A = this chain, B = another copy of it.
Amino acid sequence: MEKLYIIKIGGNIIDDETKLSSFLKEFTSVQGKKILIHGGGKLATQIASQLGVEQQMVEGRRITDKDTLRIVTMVYAGYINKNIVAQLQSFGCNAMGLSGADGNLVQAHKRKKGAIDYGFAGDIDSVNIPLIAHLLELGITIIVSPITHNLEGQLLNTNADTMAHEIAKSMSADYDVNLIYSFEKNGVLLDANDDSTTIASLQPAHYAQLKKEEKIFAGMIPKLDNAFAALDSGVKQVTIGKAEQLQQLIAHTAGTKITND
Contact = CB atoms under 8 A, between A and B. Distances in A.
Interface of A: 47, 50-52, 70, 73-79, 81-83, 85-87, 89-90, 94-99, 101-104, 131, 134, 138, 140, 147, 149, 151-155
B73 A99 contact: no
B97 A101 contact: yes
A33 to B, nearest CB: 15
27 contacts: A47-B74, A50-B51, A50-B52, A70-B79, A73-B79, A73-B82, A74-B75, A74-B78, A76-B78, A77-B77, A78-B78, A78-B81, A82-B102, A82-B147, A86-B155, A89-B104, A89-B149, A89-B151, A90-B149, A90-B153, A95-B101, A95-B102, A96-B98, A96-B103, A97-B102, A131-B138, A134-B138
A73 B82 CA distance: 8
Nearest to A91: B153
Contact of A86 (B52, B87, B153): B153
B99 A85 contact: yes
Given A50-B52, A78-B81, 15 more contacts: A51-B51, A73-B79, A74-B74, A74-B75, A77-B78, A77-B82, A78-B78, A78-B82, A85-B99, A86-B155, A89-B104, A89-B151, A90-B153, A95-B102, A97-B102
Contacts of A140: 103
Nearest to A143: B102
A87 B51 CA distance: 26
Contacts of A87: 153
B90 A152 contact: yes
B85 A101 contact: yes
A130 to B, nearest CB: 9
Contacts of A151: 89-90
Contacts of A101: 82, 85-86, 89, 95, 97
A102 B75 contact: no
Given A75-B78, A78-B77, A155 B83 contact: yes
